[in-house]
Structure 1
Amino acid sequence: MAYMQMSLYSETLGMSTEAGIVLPLNALPSAERGGKYPVLYLLHGLGGDHTEWTRNSAIERYAESRGLALVLPRADRSYYTDMKQGGAYFTYLSEELPGLVQRAFAISGRREDTFAAGISMGGYGAFKLAMRHPERYAAAVSLSGGLDIVRRVTGPNGFLPGEADRIFGSADELRGSGEDLFALAVKAAAAEPPPRLYQCCGTEDFLYDANRAFLDQAVSAGLNITYEEGPGGHDWDYWDRQLTRMLDWLPL
């Protein structure tokens, strides 16, 4: 694999930011993809950054064997949201960044070659990408995602004082909006074609109950979702064990 640290100025965010780019060196992109690599956008968790994937897991090695490119954006503490007070991170992630990396690297822009995955806050972001833009993402993965965002902002959570309001506004504004995955599940199930979802969570994770609640909503809505659970907490010991299962599941 080749790992590149990309520094760029985002017109959407109005500031400089960073992203990691990982390209397989020992796998040529196929002709059927126009000589370009399928791509997985990997989203970091709250309090982390784009480097945590390569520092804490063997994701580079796993992706190399599958001929898969990785894009690791930095999104700070935004919850991958166009914040009420702050940057338009969802627009940056869903619109600006894909265009930049597709122009700079041999990365496919086809829906069937484009996937998103994330841990914790990033799991929320990955599912939001796929459910708001099912025409662009064939599949998305949530590893221990903060999927019940309404419960997160109204109960015990990891937000700084006033942070949730700056990101989402009030709970009433959030509930049923385009940031509420429970509402998005119903809309995404009616999309043609709907995205495929893979969700997993450790049974000792503090987000376990919220993950089960989202699973129930997704199944009720009729989404194509695969769910797995097992022993584990909210940590890289659990997530690293799940990565090969996640990549084997992707429709590559």
Structure 2
Amino acid sequence: MAFLQANIYSNVLEMEVMVDVILPQQTEKTIGTATQNQGDDIPVLYLLHGMGGNHSVWQRRTAIERYVSAYQLAVIMPSTDLGWYTDTSYEMNYWTFIAEELPTIVHELFPQLSTKRANTFAAGLSMGGYGAMKLGLRKPERFAAVASLSGALAMAESMENLLQLRSQAYWEGIFGPIADFKGSDNDLIHLIETLEPSRAPRFYISCGTEDQLFPASEYAVEKLTNRQIPVTFESGTGVHDWQFWDQWIQRVLAWIHEG
């Protein structure tokens, strides 16, 4: 596998953005890590960070490069600051960047990556789990499968907990007035309830049973199941930390591969 660190310019954000990229590469080694380059039409995973992270955090905190080598999967890891993958009220349009501009840039720079829905996936942890789910729910024509690890999936139902994490000014800077969040295009539960099931990608949701966001994952799974939208829910002992995410991202990759 090849690991690249890229500085790209975002016209949407009007700023330089860092993106880490893992690409399949033809290699021959004697230590059990030989990989092959599939040429064109390489499957691609957009892997999103959580609060406090950036483009580098998956590479630094897990063995993601080694994990994906078994699947010949390209991985795109962008930095989106603390913007919650949302077009914010302070005019930083992180949603438009991640959902529209970034894929265009990626395919311009790496034309060997697939543009097919069947070969395009998204995953993330915590804030990134929210972002990945939003991609799958709002852009179902683009993604075959989407995974959330410890995601903030029921924000409208737990706003009081969010206000303990950050101030109201912060959340309204991201999403606008709190009173308008429920039922908006940023409310994942609303998106689940309005998505046509026949258009939906496959969803995978996992959360540690000791994580304070575990009830949110259960609630989202219940809503998906009620709509007959395909969802796999797996949980295990764990809290909101990298020990859990390093373990379960491996399961996510296997689930994507199993199709």
If the length of structure 1 is used for normalisation, what is the TM-score? 0.94
Q: What is the CA–CA distance in structure 2 between the aligned matches of 1:241 and 1:172, rounded to whole Å? A: 37
The match for 1:28 among 31, 37, 40 is 37
Encode CA deviations 1:199-244: one digit per residue, 9 max, x unaligned: 0000010111121121111111221100011100000101111122
Root-mean-square deviation over aligned CA pairs: 1.4
The aligned counterpart of 2:74 is 69
The aligned counterpart of 2:28 is none
The aligned counterpart of 2:30 is none
Q: 1:102-181 counterparts in 2 under 5 A?
A: 102-105=107-110, 106-156=112-162, 157-160=164-167, 162-181=169-188
Instruction: Tell me, yes or no, if the aligned pair for 1:40 and 1:115 is still in contact at 8 Å.
Output: yes
Q: 1:176-191 counterparts in 2 under 5 A?
A: 176-188=183-195, 190-191=196-197
Q: CA shift at 1:159, angstroms?
A: 2.5
Q: CA shift at 1:191, angstroms?
A: 4.7
Question: Greater shift after overlay, 144-153 or 38-47?
Answer: 144-153
Instruction: Tell me, yes or no, if the aligned pair for 1:4 and 1:21 is still in contact at 8 Å.
Output: yes
Instruction: Tell me, yes or no, if the aligned pair for 1:146 and 1:152 is still in contact at 8 Å.
Output: no
Question: Greater shift after overlay, 160-169 or 122-131?
Answer: 160-169
Gaps of 5+ in 1: none
Gaps of 5+ in 2: 26-34
Q: CA shift at 1:152, angstroms?
A: 4.4
If the length of structure 2 is used for normalisation, what is the TM-score? 0.91
Three-state SS of the structure 1 residue aligned to 2:46 is strand
Three-state SS of the structure 2 residue aligned to 1:87 is coil
Instruction: Tell me, yes or no, if the aligned pair for 2:134 and 2:188 is still in contact at 8 Å.
Output: yes
Q: 1:1-252 counterparts in 2 under 5 A?
A: 1-25=1-25, 26-29=35-38, 35-105=40-110, 106-156=112-162, 157-160=164-167, 162-188=169-195, 190-251=196-257
Among all aligned residue pairs of Structure 1 and Structure 2, give the percentage whose two residues are the same amino acid.
40
Q: What is the CA–CA distance in structure 1 between the aligned matches of 2:67 and 2:157, rounded to whole Å? A: 34
Encode CA deviations 1:164-184: one digit per residue, 9 max, x unaligned: 000111222111111000011
Encode CA deviations 1:1-50: one digit per residue, 9 max, x unaligned: 111111011000111111111101122226xxxx1210000000011111
Task: Go from structure 1 to structure 2 and tell me whether the alpha carbon gap of 1:152 and 1:80 turns closer, same or farther (over 3 Å shift).
Answer: farther
- Structure 1 counterpart of 2:85, one-letter code: Y
Aligned length: 247
Task: Go from structure 1 to structure 2 and tell me whether the alpha carbon gap of 1:161 and 1:171 turns closer, same or farther (over 3 Å shift).
Answer: closer
- Structure 2 counterpart of 1:220, one-letter code: N
Q: CA shift at 1:77, angstroms?
A: 0.3
Q: What is the CA–CA distance in structure 1 between the aligned matches of 2:178 and 2:228, rounded to whole Å? A: 26
Q: What is the CA–CA distance in structure 1 between the aligned matches of 2:199 and 2:219, rounded to whole Å? A: 24
Q: What is the CA–CA distance in structure 1 between the aligned matches of 2:130 and 2:246, rounded to whole Å? A: 18
Q: CA shift at 1:161, angstroms?
A: 5.5
Q: CA shift at 1:144, angstroms?
A: 0.3
